[in-house]
Structure 1
Amino acid sequence: MGTSDDLAQRDVVLSFLGGQAKVQKTGMTFPQNMPEQAWERIGTNLRELVNSSAWWLGDWLLYGESAYGWRRYKEAIERTGLDYQTLRNYAWVARRFEQQRRRDSLSFAHHAEVTRLSPPEQDYWLRKAEQQKWSRNELRRAVRASLAVQSETADSAQADQAARDAEVAEQQEVPRLDTSAAAERRQQKVTTLTIELSAGQLDYYSKAAAAHGLSVDAWVTRVLETADRQTA
């Protein structure tokens, strides 16, 4: 049984019942033959109460953060019996929306769907959801579809820009230096060497060159290059 203050506060919060239903901590009882419109009105108000309680808890947590620092979640968990992640989500959404930007006609869950967007985008999508009377799931689908289109457009623009950059770079490319072995040989200074040989030496060198499948001058050049490497 609650105190008189508890009962008075309960009466203020649930004044919409108008005496047509009775509440206690573990349930609600209704009179026989309650008019259907009265039953519907109670349901609507209960929905608003649940939606408001999320905002209330979020604002309560933000105040605790500002006034009492890091102890807020430890105390909040003990006071509410809610888990850390649930409380953190309430505070996150409440922080992202100043009270003047919250829309009474939309649920807390609607606002939670757009928390990661910029404030102008948040306002745009909430206004559209309000006008179209979207459910939370309808709002989620619309936002995700829009983000997917934006991503595809950005990827396409990025690819086009990369292609343009590559084309400009190709047009401005400085001719590459020919660093091949053939070019290197062409760049070397050519020196003519004259060697006088006797008939016997010429015959000997011709046979040695033929054994390697080379002409005499090619064989001599190879011998000189080998000697040069060995003395280097």
Structure 2
Amino acid sequence: MRTVSARPAAGAGEPAQRDVVLSFVGSQTTVRKSGMVFPENLPERSWERIGSNLRELVNSSAWWLADWLIYGESTYGWRRYKEAIERTGLDYQTLRNYAWVARRFEHHRRRDALSFAHHAEVTRLSPPEQDYWLRKAEQQKWSRNELRRAVRASLAVQSGTAEEAAGGDEQQEVTRLPEPAAGKRRQKVTTLTIELSADQLDHCAKAAAAHGLPVDEWVARTLESAVAPTTERRTA
């Protein structure tokens, strides 16, 4: 977001802070790293507009951080995780989750009207299913939880289970996906969590970078190749 100006501000005996003027806030409101100071006569419309823009800023920051990490991964190799953790203060799992969502949505498929959390809800689906549900969520103005309930209801119908999609007393329409997305048998996905030391993670990251792959994909392929001979012997 564009910074119009920056000026130090300090009281008597207090360390200087950098006050900035953000384009969406204007010059009336003082913005600091540790807070915002509003004037007494700020119009209500201006206050509401600032809140809306702050919401968009929070949502966009997840995409920005994910794209930043992916760029570092593809450009600088295995060092990306260590540097990312140091720079952002986020842990490995959080960064990995951000990047995992971003990799499954090319920029042209991301919907500005929906939050990062909306996209995360449908990440495990196929691209046609993702587009279908995000388009429907945008049209119906669904919250993240409403989208989650609708997707779960549809998956329950497809799998033949009698699960109810939503908690509470509200009724949720169950939508079947259009062909061919609904006609394809969904592959069950299981999440495997592996605890690694810093040295082990560095070793895996180096090996993944040598193959031009992200760490999670390299690990998945390595495990798949390891169990393939066993599977072939059993089916022989």
Normalised by the length of structure 1, the TM-score is 0.60
Distance in 1 separating the partners of 2:99 and 2:114: 18
The residue correspondences of 1:45-124 to structure 2 (distance < 5 A) are 45-124=53-132
Identity among equivalent positions (%) equals 82
Distance in 2 separating the partners of 1:6 and 1:76: 28
Shift of 1:86: 1.1
1:77-119 per-position Cα deviation (integer Å, ceiling 9, x unaligned): 0000111111111111110000000000000000000000000
Helix, strand or coil for the counterpart of 2:36? strand
Amino acid at match of 1:61: L
Unaligned 5+ segments in structure 2 are: 8-18, 162-236
1:3-30 per-position Cα deviation (integer Å, ceiling 9, x unaligned): x99939x958x31001131111100000
Q: Aligned residue for 2:135?
A: 127
Distance in 2 separating the partners of 1:29 and 1:55: 27
Decide whether aligned partners of structure 1 residues 81 and 116 sit closer, same or farther in structure 2, where only a CA change above 3 A counts. same
**1:26 pairs with 2:34:** yes
Helix, strand or coil for the counterpart of 2:103? helix
Q: Aligned residue for 1:7?
A: 6
Structure holding more strand per residue: 2
1:117-152 per-position Cα deviation (integer Å, ceiling 9, x unaligned): 000000000000000000001000100111011000
Distance in 1 separating the partners of 2:35 and 2:67: 27
Amino acid at match of 1:67: T
Amino acid at match of 2:72: G
Amino acid at match of 2:6: L
Contact 2:20–2:30 (CA<8 Å) still a contact in 1? no
CA RMSD of aligned residues (A): 2.1
**1:41 pairs with 2:79:** no
Shift of 1:72: 1.0
Decide whether aligned partners of structure 1 residues 81 and 5 sit closer, same or farther in structure 2, where only a CA change above 3 A counts. farther
Q: Which has the higher contact order (CA 8 A, sep 6+)?
A: 2
Unaligned 5+ segments in structure 1 are: 154-232
Moved over 2 A (4+): 4-8
Q: Aligned residue for 2:24?
A: 16
Helix, strand or coil for the counterpart of 1:7? strand
Helix, strand or coil for the counterpart of 2:31? strand
Distance in 2 separating the partners of 1:26 and 1:131: 37
Distance in 2 separating the partners of 1:34 and 1:6: 20
Shift of 1:33: 2.3
Decide whether aligned partners of structure 1 residues 134 and 7 sit closer, same or farther in structure 2, where only a CA change above 3 A counts. same
Q: Which has the larger radius of gyration?
A: 1
Contact 2:4–2:20 (CA<8 Å) still a contact in 1? no
Q: Aligned residue for 1:191?
A: none
Distance in 1 separating the partners of 2:27 and 2:88: 28
Structure holding more helix per residue: 1
